[in-house]
Chains A and B, each alone.
Chain A
Amino acid sequence: MSLKRSILTGVTIAALAAGGVWAASHGGPPPAVKARQAHMQLYAFNLGILGAMAKGEAEFDAEKAQRAANNLAALVSLDQTDYWVPGTSSAEVMESRLKPEMFENVADAMAKGKALQEAVMALQGAAGTLDGLRASIGPVGGACGACHKAYREPQQ
């Protein structure tokens, strides 16, 4: 199933299961929110390895860079259908920074996800050299930022 269809299906199913507002009595954010945040941390960890080399804070290590880039590629390939479900936006969940507008712009959010996939694939292909890494990590940051700009609430 294509990523697009799977996300649309997930959104639809979750919408049908509506009233799907996570009761605060469960304590902590709903699992989908935790999963999203954990996923973002895994991006950050692997980007941190690459970024330290790109910045010149760490010596370039081609094997290590490739491992981190491969991990990022694996992460963007995960099916996130069940992360991004209605009832988990900042309007419903205190710990969530997901703007509710995302659910009105699913096609656009999908396009931004695809742009990230493409940027990460390019990074995976180029991470074997320091110049390649430096040139290809910027567009990944741009793709992260495009979605954060549109659909992430500012930090409180």
Chain B
Amino acid sequence: MRRLARALAILAVTGVAAFWYLTAPRSEPVENLTGLAGDAGRGALVFAAGGCASCHAAPGAEGAARLELGGGRRFASPFGTFVAPNISPDPEHGIGGWSVADLVNAMHHGTSPEGAHYYPAFPYTSYARVSLQDIADLHAYLLTLPPVARPSAPHEVGFPFNIRRLLGGWKLLFARHDGPVVKDVPPEAERGRYLVEGLGHCGECHTPRNALGGLDYSRWLGGAPNPTGKGRIPNITPAALDWSEADIAYYLETGFTPDFDSAGGEMAEVVKNTAQLSPEDRASIAAYLKAVPPVRDAAQ
């Protein structure tokens, strides 16, 4: 009996140690970052493609105010309400003190400079596919934006989701680091794949999630319930989206659908960003969407 108790105790200690080890926040190996220099001009495009302002600008901000990244937008979810933090270059409340490595750890690994896990409301599962050079350029650009001296508001997340360490387990289960989602695409769709799967983080809304909030990669871009509760985020695989490539590219430029309705909802916000990309980038996104495996809508 004493031996059993001892065995159980050892097992428990090993289990806790394994949990602690496996759920530790990861960071980028330093050697990957040496010699990386950011270009703020190129970073402006990364910023647009990444849709940073859509979440981190003040709610309803237009024009120049979209570059004031004081945060405050609220995102309701089944796990609680997340509040976008201040990522302006304010040294106290924002990311003014961050190095390139800090931004890489945030975007690739969901790890804060203090070594804590971020919630995946910040789409690091997608941003993990963004190149180190793009992150360095983005870092240089972010530092040129106006500082906002306002503290970030805390997330409103209840037990057990408020235990950040558990996110290490979530990342193990759901954060993939095995390269592109769609492995085979024609050369003209490669840039589009990078933009859709990485910076654009399109899959975060257009792909359904499981009960724990992990993306269902078998239904990649196959449409999902709208987190606001009204309507659905559409299926944009070739099984449902029958627009021509020119139509898709034009929609991303102007917001006009082929029958000249216009984008609404969150997509109106997205088009503000895609309108800033080059015509070649938009065309490549369209080519990628044609190359994605079709996902049939489940019978209702």
Contact = CB atoms under 8 A, between A and B. Distances in A.
A141 B246 contact: no
A4 B254 CA distance: 27
Interface stretch (B84-92, B124-132, B267-275): B267-275
Interface string A133-147: 000011011101110
Interface in A142-156: 142, 144-146, 148-150, 152-156
Contacts of B62: 146
A154 B265 contact: yes
B264 A148 contact: yes
**Interface footprint category on B:** 20 to 34
B275 A142 contact: yes
Contacts of A47: 256, 260
Given A47-B256, A155-B231, A144 B250 contact: no
B260 A145 contact: no
Contacts of B267: 145
A45 B254 CA distance: 16
Contacts of A54: 250, 254
A5 interface: no
A106 to B, nearest CB: 15
A55 interface: yes
A154 B275 CA distance: 21
A51 B260 contact: yes
Given A56-B246, A57-B246, A138-B275, A145 B231 contact: no
A152 to B, nearest CB: 5
A48 interface: yes
A43 interface: yes
Contact of A142 (B230, B264, B272): B272
Tell me which of A43, A47, A137, A154 has the highest count of chain B C-beta atoms within 10 A of its own C-beta: A154
A48 B250 CA distance: 12
A57 B7 CA distance: 75
Nearest to A90: B230
B148 interface: no
B263 interface: yes
Say what secondary structure dominates the interface of chain A: helix
A145 B250 contact: no
Contacts of A140: 254
B133 to A, nearest CB: 29
A146 B268 contact: yes
A154 B62 CA distance: 21
Tell me which of B231, B259, B264, B275 has the highest count of chain A C-beta atoms within 10 A of its own C-beta: B264
A44 interface: yes
B262 interface: yes
B264 A154 contact: yes
Interface in B37-52: none
Contact of B255 (A43, A44, A145): A145
A48 B267 CA distance: 20
B31 interface: no
B263 A145 contact: yes
B99 interface: no
A44 B268 CA distance: 17
A148 B263 contact: yes
B253 interface: yes
- In order of increasing CB-CB distance, the 6 nearest A-B pairs are A154-B231, A148-B264, A145-B268, A141-B254, A149-B268, A144-B262
Interface of A: 40, 43-45, 47-48, 51, 54-57, 137-138, 140-142, 144-146, 148-150, 152-156
Given A40-B261, A145-B255, A153-B231, 8 more contacts: A54-B250, A56-B246, A57-B246, A137-B256, A142-B271, A144-B255, A148-B265, A149-B265
